[in-house]
Amino acid sequence: MALELAAGLIALGAGLAIAGGAIGTGLAQAGIGSAGMGVIAEKPEEFGRVLLFVAIPETLVIFGFVIAIILILGAELI
């Protein structure tokens, strides 16, 4: 019983790691995307820089995914 509870809590933690990263990325990209469109409207040559700034928050999801994998593999749930 205790082992099943521990496995469930680890799985919940892994899900929260991914969800937190995804929510954080969405909030960050909302602000960066709207500001970036304003910049591109005034200076189209800044497209590459704006694209880079929009892509940077995606690392939050990758970090969350890596943490989830570490949790699941560490608990030997797979």
Q: Does domain 2-74 have CATH number 1.20.20.10?
A: yes
Structure-token match 């999801």, residue found: 61
In this prediction, residue 74 has a pLDDT band, given cuts at 50, 70 and 90, of: confident
In this prediction, residue 2 has a pLDDT band, given cuts at 50, 70 and 90, of: confident
Question: Could you tell me the residue ranges of all domains in the chain?
Answer: 2-74
- What confidence tens digit (pLDDT) does each residue in 15-70 have? 999 999 999 999 999 999 999 999 999 999 999 999 999 999 998 899 999 999 99
Q: Nearest Cα to 9, choosing from 66, 77, 63, 59?
A: 77
In this prediction, residue 1 has a pLDDT band, given cuts at 50, 70 and 90, of: confident
pLDDT attached to residue 21: 92
- Token pair listed for 25: 């990325």
Q: What is the CA radius of gyration of the chain?
A: 18
